[in-house]
Chains A and B, each alone.
Chain A
Amino acid sequence: MDNNWPLWEVFIRSKKGLSHKHVGSLHAADADMAIENARDVYTRRMEGESIWVVESKDIVASNPSQQEELYDPAKDKIYRHPTFYDIPDEIGHM
């Protein structure tokens, strides 16, 4: 029997305007506790100002064994990168 609390994945947004980034996981009995634990474990050095948690079992992941069929076809489509345009000097960095 598994006596552990469920596992939760933690996402932290470091500041406004950026997106939440996965920072790790932790154990908690429910969502409220997961938020509090995340606050205590992952934001004690001012890492962020917003927390998302989601139970690890609710994450749907792509299948590693399908690596080739999913990602290889993008390798020879270099025209999808916007690198063929001349950017006028006045625009500066884009």
Chain B
Amino acid sequence: MNKQQAIFDLALWMGDNTLILGHRLSELCGHGPILEQDIALTNIALDLVGQSRMWLSLAGEVEGKDRTEDDFAYYRGERDFTNVKLVEMPNHHWGYVIARQFIYDAHHLAILEQLVDSSDQAIADIAAKAIKEVQYHLRFSSEWMIRMGDGTAVSHEKAQTSLEDLAPYIKSLTLTDEISTFAAAEGIGFDAGRVEQEAWATMQKVLEEATLKLEPSEYYHKGGKQGLHTEHMGFILAEMQSVVRAMPGNTW
């Protein structure tokens, strides 16, 4: 195991998470509850896909096999994607979309706060650019968690149920393996334990104000990073990759 592999592994994981969540949010374009929130989610989708481009390009550079960001996004199969299952979850309803976003944002920010000091300059640069966007994402999703939790009986119930449904998918954001542990030790990656602690502190602070409850789930899903995904993943890729696979190399 060497540093190049550690950078590749981290860049691919960050790139896959942001790509799939960005795609999920992009599905809502034109379907938001009101125009203003529709644009807000689409902005976040664009931020995430933009970040994904930087991460996947970096992965291609350090891999040294001439793979581009598009090769990673459009010409890999389901088993080659390393994203966590959380980001594949469908857009059931507004409360669910926001809860999914809130959980991801809290972890995303805690991860980037460490990556801005990465010993690898390219990682630190991408993190520094992304962190401003993610601070806003968290602000947006936190505001909405509070509005829903502390809103009407119906909005509270929907938000609470969404959090409970998503709870078993949270831990996957801070699972470690041999290579991520190596990356953390080398100062390239992030300390997952610290991310977990900070993300939960962030979430609990907001949820308290929202009068909502969230506990770490005793049972949790893993496998996303190893290419084992939920039944939703195939449909995401089918939609995301169909055009480029039908017309490979086409541009406009």
- Name A's B-contacting residues (CB within 8 A): 5, 26-29, 32-33, 36-37, 40-41, 44
Cβ contact within 8 Å between B43 and A33: no
Q: In the complex, which residues of chain B have a beta carbon less than 8 angstroms from the beta carbon of A32?
A: 143
- Chain B count of residues within 8 A CB distance of the other chain: 11
List residues 134-176 of chain B with CB under 8 A from any CB of chain A: 139-140, 143, 147
Q: In the complex, which residues of chain A have a beta carbon less than 8 angstroms from the beta carbon of B43?
A: 40, 44
Contact with A along B173-195 (1 / 0, CB 8 A): 00000000000000000000000
Closest chain B residue to A44, Cβ basis: B43
Cβ contact within 8 Å between B40 and A36: yes
Q: List 17 A-B contacts (CB under 8 A).
A: A26-B35, A27-B34, A27-B35, A27-B36, A28-B36, A29-B147, A33-B147, A36-B139, A37-B37, A37-B40, A40-B36, A40-B40, A40-B43, A41-B36, A41-B39, A44-B39, A44-B43
Q: A29-B147, A40-B43, A41-B39 given; name 19 further pairs at CB < 8 Å.
A: A5-B34, A26-B35, A26-B36, A27-B35, A32-B143, A33-B143, A36-B40, A36-B139, A36-B140, A36-B143, A37-B36, A37-B37, A37-B40, A40-B36, A40-B39, A41-B35, A41-B36, A44-B39, A44-B43
The 7 closest A-B pairs by CB, nearest first: A37-B36, A40-B40, A40-B39, A26-B36, A41-B39, A40-B43, A41-B36
